[in-house]
């Protein structure tokens, strides 16, 4: 799966794209660091109508590739190091609205498989 990253993309569009490919998971974005090079914010962006520009300090554009065999920590590092985006990936719980943090060591494929058997 490839996701286009640029300042004008809306957060909800990236989230929808991610959810289509990995239905048992959801991706959340943290707010922009207070200044370039500063520690990432600990505040998750709740309003998904914001753009990616609203939550990153580095303005690189491009495409990020996410493979089912990648572990969560690699995905988070790619978003952070290349595009200046701090993300968290959650597993959807029972009704789909609850979110459970996932281990950075698991792969997307493993988590999605768990979700499929839990339903």
CA angle 73, 76, 81 (to 5 degrees): 115
Mean pLDDT of successive 10-residue stretches along the chain, which has 119 residues: 92 93 89 67 80 84 92 93 90 72 89 69
pTM above 0.85, yes or no: no
The pLDDT value given to residue 23: 85
The pLDDT value given to residue 4: 92
For residue 18, CA distances in Å to 33, 35, 39 come to 23, 28, 25
Contact 112, 23 (CB under 8 A): yes
């Amino acid at each position: 799966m490839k996701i286009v990253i640029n300042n004008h993309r809306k957060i909800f569009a990236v989230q929808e794209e991610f959810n289509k490919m990995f239905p048992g998971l959801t991706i959340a974005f943290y707010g922009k660091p207070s200044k370039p090079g500063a520690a990432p914010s600990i505040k998750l962006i709740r309003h998904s109508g914001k753009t990616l520009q609203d939550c990153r300090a580095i303005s690189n554009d491009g495409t990020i590739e996410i493979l089912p065999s990648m572990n969560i920590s690699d995905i988070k590092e790619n978003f952070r190091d290349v595009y200046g985006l701090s993300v968290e990936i959650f597993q959807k719980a029972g009704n789909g609205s609850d979110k459970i943090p996932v281990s950075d060591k698991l792969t997307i494929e493993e988590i999605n498989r768990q979700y499929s058997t839990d339903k």
